[in-house]
Amino acid sequence: MFKKILIANRGEIAMRIIIACRELGIKTVAVYSEADENSLHVRFADEDVCIGPPRSSESYLNVPGVISAAEITGADAIHPGYGFLSESAYLAEVCEACHIRFIGPDPKVIRLMGDKSRARRAMKKAGLPMLPGTDGPVESEEDALKFSNAIGFPVIVKAVAGGGGRGMRVVRSAQELGHAIRTAQREAEAAFGVPDVYIEKYLDSPRHIEVQVLGDHHGAVVHLGERECSIQRRHQKLMEESPSPALTEKQRRKLGNMVVDAAKAVQYSNAGTFEFLMDEHGKFYFMETNTRLQVEHPVTELVTGIDIVKEQIRIAAGERLSVRQGEVTFNGHAIECRVNAEDPDTFVPSPGHISVFSMGGGPGIRVDTAAHSDCTISPYYDSMIAKIISYGRDRHEAIVRMRRALEMSVVEGVKTTIPMHLKILNDPDFLAGRMSTRFMERFTPPSEKKGSLAEAV
Amino acid sequence: MFKKILIANRGEIAMRIIIACRELGIKTVAVYSEADENSLHVRFADEDVCIGPPRSSESYLNVPGVISAAEITGADAIHPGYGFLSESAYLAEVCEACHIRFIGPDPKVIRLMGDKSRARRAMKKAGLPMLPGTDGPVESEEDALKFSNAIGFPVIVKAVAGGGGRGMRVVRSAQELGHAIRTAQREAEAAFGVPDVYIEKYLDSPRHIEVQVLGDHHGAVVHLGERECSIQRRHQKLMEESPSPALTEKQRRKLGNMVVDAAKAVQYSNAGTFEFLMDEHGKFYFMETNTRLQVEHPVTELVTGIDIVKEQIRIAAGERLSVRQGEVTFNGHAIECRVNAEDPDTFVPSPGHISVFSMGGGPGIRVDTAAHSDCTISPYYDSMIAKIISYGRDRHEAIVRMRRALEMSVVEGVKTTIPMHLKILNDPDFLAGRMSTRFMERFTPPSEKKGSLAEAV
Amino acid sequence: MDFDEINKILDIVREHELSEFELEREGFKIRIRKGSPAHVSGAVAAPVAPGPHYQGHPPTHASAQMATAPEPQSAASIAAAAAAAEEVDLAIVKSPIVGTFFRSSEPGAAAFVDVGDTVKKGQVLCIIEAMKLMNEIDSELDGEIVKVYVENGQPVQYGERLFAIKARGDV
Amino acid sequence: MDFDEINKILDIVREHELSEFELEREGFKIRIRKGSPAHVSGAVAAPVAPGPHYQGHPPTHASAQMATAPEPQSAASIAAAAAAAEEVDLAIVKSPIVGTFFRSSEPGAAAFVDVGDTVKKGQVLCIIEAMKLMNEIDSELDGEIVKVYVENGQPVQYGERLFAIKARGDV
């Protein structure tokens, strides 16, 4: 086992990793930017190294800084957390070269999954269901119509060179298709210089369902069930839960096994998440793989009893998975609310000094945070200040516990998204488990709704 | 279901009950003494009523005050928590007369169990094992010797009218018996005016094992497994856990079933705890029944997933138990540390103003508290300021989580017992599960050891 | 500028955690100091730590909190002092128990006492019903009733004000 | 001046973290102080409440925390000011990267610079090894080395002091 782990991150996830290391009896090294000198992760790590100025690009994203910090402190492994360098194949490669263990998948796997088109091909080959789409650009309107009829409307016309919502058209019937293709081509040409467009199945109100996997270096892979993360705003997850209220036991097993097979096909190791869209008929479509720890990992920890961060560390140290698939059990229900220092209506960040910080506790409540009374939320980084995770015997209990925990939380000095979470927790559709990635549109100020099509894609 | 519950308590347990009520959608009424005007339970209850001056006898123990507060606020039930009026058959009777539901067992059961000798007779009849003892006073030294040889040494000679350790002698061999009886009789005569003594089996280093039960008003009783509470100081529990590291699955089932039968024999309803001593051979001896919620109920909640306080409320409202015995499952391991505002070495209370209060959180940690930064711990009441409860897949994980949670807790302004808990958590015997009610003697200052015999009885 | 406006200013002072606030306009000047002590010219004033309040107090209790806060030199306490001065010669009868306040022995009957009445020590002032028992509350001194704080039939808590009595000596 | 305007001013005070704000115009004057108490003329300087620091800081970091705390009137900041004064004419060369500090090009070789040496802008002062790369750290000015803060072979953090140089003009 490792003797000393460097944590290449900040905030609550750095604290989460320090906690895991303490439980395993491993020393920790915090790295920090000048803006984080007084942060909890610096205080609670055994050693700390300032690696740069406040800007992430010069500190938390600074690979030589991180590696040098590991070298001067004699750390034998680096945990990258999420965000920042967590999906940097480069960091993983440099670690390899420097004989420092990178706590994450092999750099080749990170690289493969990071290239969306290669990843899709590999996952399709490994048997994951894909959203039907033309393999290349549309050759003629006739072909496009034939294809669209085959996969069924609505479809979406997308610029091959696209991005940012331009060159995109949702088409709901055969009549609209020709016009949509021509418009999209003109837009694509204007925006990217290339008129090529392709066609893909369009899901109106999909759910976001993802599957957590763990793989060791001995060929074993298990899945830890799914998380439903449909409550999003501009692709930012706001609230996650496990299990999904939409899945049956059979679907869970089937999806899980499919993902385990796909992970094995690419020799996946360490923790990872396979993200899917689910349509109203319960069909899944692979989106992408996140080759790292996710923000929302605690909901899975609560329903399985498995400490994912400790498993990551053990796996990286060469140990075998602590459970076989048959030993993974799912009990109860867990929900996570990301408490952000933001205006709950406009989502405008609200950095500043927190004078009072007290999160609700008691039965079934877990709080992951690096905030405290008399701390400062700096404007340089992510606005998430805490994760409140509730656990109950069933979804109802998890919801009522979350509700009262939020009601009993007190944050003064900055605005938080707690009022928004309470709105969601009182929404009849949410209570009934009726969710999709468009759920948050009902709470979005009208001025923002424009362009939401592009966002929803 | 009740519409409004009055909570006849303060501190963390009042908060715990408010939390349960919020989860059930029931309104709450806090009662408070003048010393607790700014307490969290007053702030978070829907209504509050001041019922008297700081002294408990005139406020939290004031039955007319509590009942009147329920009447003027229209509360339809009273939850007494633990301590204070929680085992007051009188309050339960007055409630009955006033058509307010008392959330606890029937007053007749409270009265029966509150009378130690009646309770022992009833429980013996119901089949619980008792510590062997002479039924009445020792008639002659010969009889005493015969009896002692039959039950085996050591035995303890106790004054019938006794108390406070006077008139008590532990006897380890037949030779010492006669002298011990005569000395004890002289002491008893001097202290109580009655020389009568009786003889009971003496357990040198027993474990304190207790069984949690729940019974509804439809005749169903289930047990929720045991708690080991051997870590005590002067009969004050300091740290509790579930399951006990000393019990086998078979013992657990046997003991549990025995207790369920005994509870049914006295038509026990609501929550209760049957306390036992366990000798080194794994034999149990009934001590007493606590007819109320216990401080340490959270460890049971964590391993069973059952919310005991919500069950109490549902039972009192006439609902059936939410689980049958076969549905009660035990997963993982939970430990509770009672954080007291006391000097960790001398146990002298340390009331005062808390300037900083931050309990460690993260995976597997539950905090039940009514304290917060900038609050005052008043000298009028119990010194417990928080309960930290850790949960892990196994005892080792629960221990390492508790350890780092305590290490990451910060309390400034008052002394706490956290350093004492850390000592216990690093003790090789504790880690190996080797505990007895004498465990804490190793941490007790020498000046206190005198008289510990009497205490240990 | 009336008390509402002053209260608004005090709310602002609290909300923004100001230590000092001064506003002057034609014919009007207000100055507030709070929390920390004022150091005035030449004076050696002992510093007083701000009161230990929990900042997360829900709004419903905010005013109560403020009123009970130990802020020896704040504007709030000066106002309180003024109020106390007004009542300095008054005896306040507080409820010794929790219950329901009744001004007369039975519905429809005349009130035991009314504002302006002269009462003697031991005279019944009201009844507080608790647990179906009618508890008579007696006057502890001779004097004149100058205020009745609670309306007939209302619940009262322990320590709640019932009557103000101007002692005989001052009548 | 109404409450909206006062609130706007208070927003400004908060946003800019002002401790004092005073505005006077015809027939109107407003003055606001925040946080620390007011010290007015003739006052015996009073002890100032410590700044809003997290009290649970482990001792190892206590000094660092204190030095960086925004305490305009505290003893700590006065000490810092004194330290700054002492070095007011010195240029401090700080480490731009994390790594290991070497005073010479190879073991046994002479140090690039030593106390008392005169250096020119662009002259190599030391090497910081990071990821097996030897990064030469050059002087940014002409002057005299007056202090070497780090010993040979020691690790350095970002921003750690390496040398103090007295600029040429002051030599």
Tell me: the pLDDT tens digits for B181-190?
999 999 889 8
Beta strand B77-79 pairing with B4-7: parallel
User: What count of residues does chain D have?
Assistant: 171
Angle at C113 (CA atoms; ends C109, C118), nearest 5 degrees: 145
A408 touches chain C (CB under 8 A): no
Q: What is the pLDDT of residue D25?
A: 62
* B174 belongs to a structural domain: yes
- B44:C58 CB<8 A: yes
Q: Enumerate the residues of chain A whose CB falls inside 8 A of the CB of residue D100.
A: 71-72
The pTM for the full model equals 0.83
Q: What is the pLDDT of residue D37?
A: 37
Q: Enumerate the residues of chain A whose CB falls inside 8 A of the CB of residue B306.
A: 393
Q: A278 and A223: one domain?
A: yes
D61 touches chain A (CB under 8 A): yes
Which of C18, C23, C38 lies nearest to residue D34, judging by beta carbons? C18
Distance in Å, alpha carbon of D152 to nearest chain A alpha carbon: 14
Angle at B166 (CA atoms; ends B162, B167), nearest 5 degrees: 70
Q: What is the pLDDT of residue B165?
A: 65
Distance in Å, alpha carbon of B388 to nearest chain A alpha carbon: 10
Q: A169 and A250: one domain?
A: no
Structure tokens at B10: 């303060």
Residues A211-261: tens digit of each pLDDT: 999 999 999 999 999 999 999 998 899 999 999 999 999 999 999 999 999
Q: What is the pLDDT of residue A146?
A: 93
- A72:D57 CB<8 A: no
Q: What is the dihedral of CA A65, A71, A76, A81, to 10 degrees?
A: -10
D87 or D156: which carries more pLDDT confidence? D156
Q: A404 and A328: one domain?
A: yes
**Strands of B47-52's sheet in order across:** B47-52, B27-33, B4-7, B77-79, B101-102
Q: Enumerate the residues of chain B whose CB falls inside 8 A of the CB of residue D56.
A: 356, 358, 410, 412
Distance in Å, alpha carbon of D55 to nearest chain B alpha carbon: 6
Which of B34, B51, B98 lies nearest to residue C98, judging by beta carbons? B51
* Cβ count near A79 (within 10 Å): 29
* A145 belongs to a structural domain: yes
Where residue D122 falls (left for φ over 0; alpha for ψ -120 to 50; beta otherwise) is left
Cβ(A336)–Cβ(A296) below 8 Å:
yes
Distances (CA, A) of B448 to B429, B452, B453, B455, C151: 22, 7, 11, 10, 58
Q: What is the pLDDT of residue C169?
A: 65
Q: Which residue of C has its CA nearest to A374?
A: C55
Write out residues in chain A with pLDDT < 70, as ranges: 162-165, 445-457
Cβ(A138)–Cβ(A202) below 8 Å:
no
Residue C38 has pLDDT above 60, yes or no: no
Domain-terminating residue out of B201, B227, B252: B201
Sorting pLDDT into bands at 50, 70 and 90, what band is B450?
A: very low
In angstroms, rounded to a whole number, what is the distance separating the alpha carbons of residues D171 and D168? 5
Supply φ then ψ for residue B39, to 5 degrees: -75, 155
Q: Which residues of B are known catalytic residues?
A: 292
Q: A87 and A216: one domain?
A: no
CATH number at residue B141: 3.30.1490.20
Mean pLDDT of B385-394: 98
Angle at B393 (CA atoms; ends B390, B395), nearest 5 degrees: 65
Give the type of residue at A101. Answer: R
Which of B40, B51, B374 lies nearest to residue C52, judging by beta carbons? B374
Query: Which chains reach chain C with 3 or more Cβ–Cβ distances below 8 angstroms?
Result: A, B, D
Sorting pLDDT into bands at 50, 70 and 90, what band is D77?
A: very low
A51 touches chain D (CB under 8 A): yes
**Per-residue exposure over B376-400, b if at least 16 CB sit within 10 Å of its own CB, e if not:** bbeebbbbbbbbbbbbbbebebbbb
**Averaged pLDDT score across all residues of chain D:** 69
Beta strand A101-102 pairing with A155-163: unpaired
Q: Which of B87, B51, B67, B53 is nearest to B6 (CA)?
A: B67
Distance in Å, alpha carbon of C25 to nearest chain D alpha carbon: 4
Residue C44 has pLDDT above 50, yes or no: no
Give the type of residue at A378. Answer: S
Residues 339-358 of A with CB under 8 A from C: 355-356, 358
Give the type of residue at A159. Answer: A
Q: Enumerate the residues of chain A whose CB falls inside 8 A of the CB of residue C54.
A: 356
What is the sign of the dihedral through the CA atoms of A398, A400, A405 and A407?
positive
Which of D30, D34, D41 lies nearest to residue C19, judging by beta carbons? D34
- B307:A372 CB<8 A: no
Cβ(B200)–Cβ(B153) below 8 Å:
no
Beta strand D99-102 pairing with D124-130: antiparallel
Q: B276 and B394: one domain?
A: yes
Where residue C124 falls (left for φ over 0; alpha for ψ -120 to 50; beta otherwise) is beta
Q: Which residue of B has its CA nearest to A405?
A: B19
Q: B229 and B193: one domain?
A: no
Mean pLDDT of C147-153: 96
Q: Which residue of C has its CA nearest to A355?
A: C55
Domains and CATH numbers, chain D: 3-88 (no CATH), 91-167 (2.40.50.100)
* B111 belongs to a structural domain: no
Which of A298, A373, A400 lies nearest to residue B363, judging by beta carbons? A298
Q: Is A320 a catalytic residue?
A: no
Q: What is the pLDDT of residue C14?
A: 65
Of the candidate ranges A53-67, B351-365, D76-90, the one whose mean pLDDT is the lowest:
D76-90
C78 or D23: which carries more pLDDT confidence? D23
Q: What is the pLDDT of residue A91?
A: 97
Q: Which H or E run contains A331?
A: none
Beta strand spans in A165-269 (E): 166-171, 197-201, 207-215, 221-233, 236-242
Q: A186 and A214: one domain?
A: no
Number of independent structural domains in chain B: 3
Cβ(A118)–Cβ(A112) below 8 Å:
yes
- C56:A410 CB<8 A: yes
Interface pTM, i.e. ipTM: 0.76
In angstroms, rounded to a whole number, what is the distance separating the alpha carbons of residues B30 and B16? 12
Domain-terminating residue out of A103, A123, A143: A103
Q: What is the pLDDT of residue A89?
A: 96
CATH number at residue B303: 3.30.470.20
The DSSP 8-state label assigned to residue C39 in this structure reads: B
Q: Enumerate the residues of chain C whose CB falls inside 8 A of the CB of residue D7.
A: 12
* A109 belongs to a structural domain: no
Q: Which residue of B has its CA nearest to D56?
A: B410
* B430 belongs to a structural domain: yes
Contacts of A253 (CB under 8 A, 6+ apart): none
- B362:A367 CB<8 A: yes
* Cβ count near D87 (within 10 Å): 14
Q: B59 and B146: one domain?
A: no
DSSP assignment of D7-68, as one string? HHHHHHHHHTT-SEEEEEETTEEEEEEESSPPB-TTPPPPP-PPPS--TT--HHHHHHHHHH
Residue C131 has pLDDT above 80, yes or no: yes
Q: Which of D57, D100, D131 has the most A C-beta neighbours within 10 Å, making it the best mutation to test the interface with A?
A: D131
CATH number at residue B89: 3.40.50.20
Q: Which of A64, A55, A73, A72 is nearest to A10 (CA)?
A: A55
Q: What is the pLDDT of residue A101?
A: 98
* B165 belongs to a structural domain: yes
**Averaged pLDDT score across all residues of chain B:** 94
Domain-terminating residue out of A179, A201, A223: A201
* B153 belongs to a structural domain: yes
Residues 140-169 of C with CB under 8 A from D: none
Q: A70 and A149: one domain?
A: no
Q: A430 and A335: one domain?
A: yes
Q: B165 and B299: one domain?
A: no
The catalytic position among A292, A338, A395, A403 is A292
How far does CA A142 lie from the centroid of its chain?
39
Q: Which of A21, A22, A336, A357 has the most B C-beta neighbours within 10 Å, making it the best mutation to test the interface with B?
A: A22
Q: B167 and B224: one domain?
A: no
Q: Which residue of D has its CA nearest to B357?
A: D56
- 3-state class of B41 per DSSP? helix
Residue C18 has pLDDT above 90, yes or no: no
- D130:A353 CB<8 A: no
Residues B95-118: tens digit of each pLDDT: 999 999 999 999 999 999 998 778
Whole domain around residue A93: which residue ranges?
4-103
Mean pLDDT of B261-265: 98
* A429 belongs to a structural domain: yes
Residues 360-399 of B with CB under 8 A from A: 361-369, 372-373, 393, 397
- D159:A34 CB<8 A: yes
